[in-house]
Amino acid sequence: MSHVIVVGAGPTGLLLAGDLAEAGVAVTLLERRDGRVSNLSRAFAVHARTLEVLDARGLVEELDRTGAGHVSDIRLFERVHVDLGRLPGRFPYMLVTAQYNVERVLLARAVAAGVTIEYGTTVVDVHQDATGVSVITEDRTYRADYLVGADGFHSAVRRSLGQAFPGRSVLKSIMLADVRLRETPPDTLTVDGNGSEFVFLAPFGDGWYRIFAWDRRSDVSDDTPLELDEVRAITRRALGTDFGISEARWLSRFHSDERQVAEYRVGRVFLAGDAAHVHSPAGGMGMNTGLQDAANLSWKLAAVLRGAPETLLDTYQAERHPVGAEVLRISGTMIRMAMLRSRVGRAVRGVVGGLALRVPAIRRRLTGRISAIGFRYAAPRGEDPRVGSRMPDLDLADGTRLYEHLRGGRFVLVGGTAPEGWGDRVRAVASAGEIVLVRPDGYVAKIFGRTAEPAEVRTALAALVGQPARAGV
Ligand X SMILES: Cc1cc2nc3c(=O)[nH]c(=O)nc-3n(C[C@H](O)[C@H](O)[C@H](O)COP(=O)(O)OP(=O)(O)OC[C@H]3O[C@@H](n4cnc5c(N)ncnc54)[C@H](O)[C@@H]3O)c2cc1C
Residues of this chain that bind ligand X (CB under 6 A): 7-13, 30-33, 42-45, 99, 122-123, 150-152, 156, 176, 254, 273-274, 281, 284-288, 290
Identity of the residue, 77 or 204, whose beta carbon is nearer to ligand X in the bound complex: 204
CB of 171 to ligand X, least distance (A): 11
Q: Contact, 302 vs 465, CB < 8 A?
A: no
Identity of the residue, 45 or 161, whose beta carbon is nearer to ligand X in the bound complex: 45
Identity of the residue, 370 or 462, whose beta carbon is nearer to ligand X in the bound complex: 370
CB of 4 to ligand X, least distance (A): 15
CB of 195 to ligand X, least distance (A): 22
Q: Contact, 255 vs 171, CB < 8 A?
A: yes
Helix then strand then coil, % of the chain, to nearest 5: 35, 25, 40
CB of 269 to ligand X, least distance (A): 14
8-state DSSP, 243: T
Give the other-Cβ count within 10 Å of 99's Cβ: 21
What b/e readout covers 191-218, taking b as 16+ CB neighbours within 10 angstroms?
A: bbbeeebbbbbbbbbeebbbbbbbbbeb
Q: From CA 152, how far away is CA 138, in angstroms rounded? A: 18
Q: From CA 471, how far away is CA 473, in angstroms rounded? A: 6
CB of 3 to ligand X, least distance (A): 17
Identity of the residue, 173 or 288, whose beta carbon is nearer to ligand X in the bound complex: 288
* Residue 438 DSSP SS3: strand
Q: Give the CA count within 13 Å in the CB-facing half-sphere of 450.
A: 2
Please choose, from the candidates 470, 461, 469, 455, the residue with its C-alpha nearest in 3D space to the C-alpha of residue 440: 461
CB of 407 to ligand X, least distance (A): 22
CB of 69 to ligand X, least distance (A): 14
CB of 41 to ligand X, least distance (A): 8
Distance between terminal CA atoms of the chain?
A: 20
CB of 52 to ligand X, least distance (A): 15
Q: From CA 169, how far away is CA 221, in angstroms rounded? A: 13
Identity of the residue, 41 or 431, whose beta carbon is nearer to ligand X in the bound complex: 41
Identity of the residue, 30 or 147, whose beta carbon is nearer to ligand X in the bound complex: 30
Identity of the residue, 262 or 430, whose beta carbon is nearer to ligand X in the bound complex: 262
Please choose, from the candidates 100, 40, 46, 53, the residue with its C-alpha nearest in 3D space to the C-alpha of residue 285: 46
Identity of the residue, 43 or 438, whose beta carbon is nearer to ligand X in the bound complex: 43
Phi, psi of 441 (to 5 degrees): -90, 10
Residues ≥6 apart with Cβ < 8 Å to 337:
76, 77, 349, 353
Identity of the residue, 44 or 377, whose beta carbon is nearer to ligand X in the bound complex: 44
Q: From CA 202, how far away is CA 199, in angstroms rounded? A: 10
